Amino acid sequence: MADDTGDKEKQGAVGTPHGQPTPEAPGYFEGESMTRRRVFTVAAQGVGGLAGMAIALPAIGFAVAPIFSREDETWEGVGPVADFDAATYKPVVFTIVEDIGEAGKTLAYVRKGDEKLEEDPGEYIAISTRCAHLGCPVRYVEAAGNFICPCHGGVYDFQGKVIGGPPVRPLDRFQTRVTNGKVELGPRYSVTSQLEPVRTRDPGEFTGGIWEYLYPPRPSTPPAP
């Protein structure tokens, strides 16, 4: 402790390490609240921090920007209305992401609405092949009338509801419309276990109830129909 006091006396001429000005310091004036040394330290660190932020913040924003930007909706014709009936699915290939070749294409199973399943017979139903477990491609097995996933054994019924395996919700769907006698497929949407449309969720994310808050809708997805 004796050493400490000695240090303070020595440094008294230029101010204490804690920045409290002392009357002995050169240039001291009445009412001074900071030593010169402290002013320059704070200023240098502040300016350095600002300069760093000026570079770092735009760079981070640049990297995370895709989270907040939404692609324009695209609609693609997949065949005349006569191609599709209510009894079975017809697989169609269409593009969901432009400009990346084969990787941007996906398969959808399309059929007409069925009154017996309480669907609007004038509507067309397009089931996405993206498994609701982890996103592997499911296929429709005609003999069983089910969708089956090769990766982890997820099974869905004719309407895409889960009847077996690990998937957490029914298969996603694509919006459909009829233009000039052709069926067109639009943006993807997810459904709850009661087949109510909700905003697109990624595979593995539950829908409906409290899950709507635990897996919040993302700004990068189009709103539910």
Partner 1 sequence: MKFPDQLIPAPLRKPAKPGQNGHGNGSAPANLKDSPPERQADSQKLLDKAKEAPIDVAGWVDQRTGATSFVTGMLYRKVPKGTNWFYTLGSATLFAFAMQALTGVFLSMYYTPSPVEAYGSITHLTNDVFLGEFVRGTHKWGASVMTILIFLHMGRVFFFGAYKYPRELNWVIGVVLLILTLVMGFTGYLLPFDQRSFWATVVGVNINGTGPVVGPYLSDFLRAGAEFGPSTLSRFYAIHMLLVPGLMIALIGAHMYLVVKLGTTAPPWVRGAKPKPSRTVERVNAGANGRNGHNGASANGHSRVNGGNGRRVGKDDESQRE
| Bridge-based pairing state of the strands 173-179 and 155-156 | unpaired
For residue 169, state whether it binds partner 1 (rule: CB under 8 A).
no
Beta-sheet strands, E only, within the chain: 76-80, 90-95, 105-112, 124-128, 139-141, 146-148, 155-156, 162-164, 173-179, 182-191, 197-198
* 221 near partner 1, rule: CB under 8 A: yes
Q: Give the nearer residue to partner 1 in terms of CB position, either 177 or 218.
A: 218
Residue 72 binds partner 1, judged by CB under 8 A: no
Contacts of 165 (CB under 8 A, 6+ apart): 133, 149, 152, 153, 154, 155
Stretch that binds partner 1, among 9-17, 27-35, 156-164, 194-202 (CB under 8 A): 194-202
Question: What's the chain's length in residues?
Answer: 225
Which residue type sits at 85? D
Q: Which of 1, 67, 82, 143 touches partner 1 (CB under 8 A)?
A: 67
Q: Quick one: which segment of 24-32, 38-46, 130-138, 178-186 binds partner 1 (CB under 8 A)?
A: 130-138
In angstroms, rounded to a whole number, what is the distance separating the alpha carbons of residues 215 and 46? 39
- What is the Cα–Cα distance from 94 to 192, expressed in whole angstroms? 25
Q: How far is CA 51 from CA 37, 43, 45, 46, 47, in A?
A: 21, 12, 10, 9, 6
Nearest approach, Cβ of residue 170 and partner 1 (Å):
16
Using CB under 8 A as the binding criterion, the count of chain residues that bind partner 1 stands at 32
Would you count residue 2 as binding partner 1 (CB under 8 A)?
no
What is the SS3 assignment for 84? coil
203 binds partner 1 (CB under 8 A): yes
Smallest separation, CB 147 to partner 1 (Å) = 17
Note whether 96 binds partner 1 by CB under 8 A.
yes
- List 43, 83, 218, 223, residue binding partner 1 (CB under 8 A): 218
Kindly state the smallest distance separating residue 137's Cβ from partner 1, in Å. Answer: 8
Q: Which of 101, 115, 118, 122 contacts partner 1 by CB under 8 A?
A: 101
Binding site for partner 1 (CB under 8 A): 63-64, 66-67, 69-71, 96-101, 103-104, 134-137, 151, 200-205, 214-216, 218, 220-221
